[in-house]
Amino acid sequence: MQNASICFSEYARKIAAVSAKVQPESIDQAKNLLMAAIRSGKSILACGNGGSAAIINHMACDMNKGIAADTALRPRFLSLCGEPSLLTATANDYGYDRAFDLPLSLWMQPGDLLLAVSSSGNSPNILRALEFTKSIGNRSILLCGFSGGKGLALADVPIHVPSDNYGIVEDVHQMLLHAITQNIRVSEALPGAELKL
């Protein structure tokens, strides 16, 4: 039986190899879209399923607490996964594939930004969210893995993590969002801010 430490070393090696394949320009484009939304007072609405929902909720904390605490920026970041009563009521009454586009139809205003995370890039509710966003002329970012799925062509800025290992895709997605939020905090830090990165 393989030691856990050997498994970890191999896992870390794979994360490094996959991370090196992520297109740098897509990371910068995503950061620029996020900054444009924040600076113009627009909302960033975000969604994902399962582990991707946890990643989105984590970024809500990093955006609304971390960035707001250390900079003069005031992000308006809303996780569509953060209210289980609404999420489950929508899914129960209309089907889980409508779990995100229906709330978007209520909350999304012109100029707002969608941030979606889907390891497969094929989750029906994520695709509907991307399609709705495009239909009203707003822009979207998608973090995806595997082959990229149908979402790769729907998002304005896709960040593709080319791996078929769920854990590695999710870990790199989390790393990407941490890197982007930390880059924003460092570049926009208030004088004398003690950044705890």
Provide the b/e sequence for 91-125 (b: ≥16 CB within 10 Å): beeeeeebbbbbbbeeebeeebbbbbbbbbbbbbb
Residue 103 lies in a domain: yes
Query: What count of residues does the chain have?
Result: 197
Residue 18 lies in a domain: no
Residue 178 lies in a domain: yes
Strand partners, 48: 117
Q: How many domains does the chain have?
A: 1
pLDDT in tens, 111-159: 999 999 999 999 999 999 999 999 999 999 999 999 999 999 999 999 9
Residue 194 lies in a domain: no
Residue 3 lies in a domain: no
Residue 146 lies in a domain: yes
Q: What's the whole-number average pLDDT of the chain?
A: 96
Please state, for a pLDDT cut of 90, what percent of the chain lies above it.
92
pLDDT of residue 193: 81
Residue 9 lies in a domain: no
pLDDT exceeds 90 at position 69: no
pLDDT exceeds 70 at position 197: no
Rounded distance between C-alpha atoms, residue 183 and residue 31, angstroms: 9
Residue 148 lies in a domain: yes
- CATH of residue 114's domain is 3.40.50.10490
pLDDT of residue 73: 97
Q: Which domain holds residue 129?
A: 23-187
